[in-house]
């Protein structure tokens, strides 16, 4: 098996040797991308199992507690979703540029920590406004595949391998989005 050095075709950000860091020789298309695939799968699975259904249920619960009904919950959830997606749009433009400056690994760690904090704040929020603020702030740091794709482009130089690595990345993402609701249903209804 041919061993290739992990090098970047971009600036300082990818020069640390890809997702795992360090300059070493390894079959980079598999070993250095494995943690990225696992991270992508786990984050998408958590998002599909917990974040999507939990947010709508939590908004309804908080709206009813505030004296509103289903109509006010729908209004709150619509506004929260709209601002979340706007924040994701802004974040997916800024995060890859940030990863170019500091490297992919720190950005992925911050993004993952933000997802954990968002989930915790969603469970602790006492009003729809606080829940919405947590959800929108999480959207700003949600990479949505942009940083992951940037990591792959930094590490893999061969176009065919790069395309197949992107395919595996989005296979992990898609598989999690398919399995997530099924797992959520199994956990909820036994």
The domains of the chain are located at 45-189
Closest CA to 105 of 20, 10, 8, 183: 20
Entry pTM: 0.75
Following DSSP, what letter does each residue of 93-148 receive, concatenated?
Answer: HHHHHHHHHH-HHHHHHHHHHHHHHHHHHHHH-SSHHHHHHHHHHHHHT--TTHHH
Can you count the helices (H) and strands (E) in the chain? Answer: 7, 2
Per run of 10 residues, the mean pLDDT along the chain (length 190 residues) is 48 45 47 85 89 84 90 93 93 90 90 91 89 92 86 85 91 94 84
């Amino acid at each position: 098996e041919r061993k290739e050095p992990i090098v970047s075709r971009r600036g300082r950000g990818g020069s640390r040797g890809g997702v795992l860091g360090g300059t070493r020789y390894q079959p980079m298309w598999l070993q250095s991308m494995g943690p990225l695939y696992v991270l992508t799968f786990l984050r998408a699975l958590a998002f599909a199992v917990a974040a999507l259904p939990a947010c709508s249920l939590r908004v309804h619960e908080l709206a009813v507690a505030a004296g509103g009904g289903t109509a006010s919950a729908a209004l709150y959830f619509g506004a929260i979703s709209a601002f979340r997606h706007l924040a994701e749009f802004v974040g997916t433009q800024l995060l890859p540029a940030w990863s170019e400056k500091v490297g992919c690994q720190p950005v992925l760690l911050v993004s993952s920590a933000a997802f954990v904090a968002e989930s915790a704040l969603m469970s602790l929020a006492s009003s729809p406004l606080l829940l919405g603020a947590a959800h929108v702030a999480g959207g700003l740091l949600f990479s949505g595949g942009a940083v992951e794709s940037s990591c792959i482009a930094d590490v893999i130089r061969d176009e065919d391998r790069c395309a197949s690595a992107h395919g595996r990345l989005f296979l992990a993402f898609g598989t999690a989005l398919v399995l997530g609701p099924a797992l959520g249903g199994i956990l909820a209804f036994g």
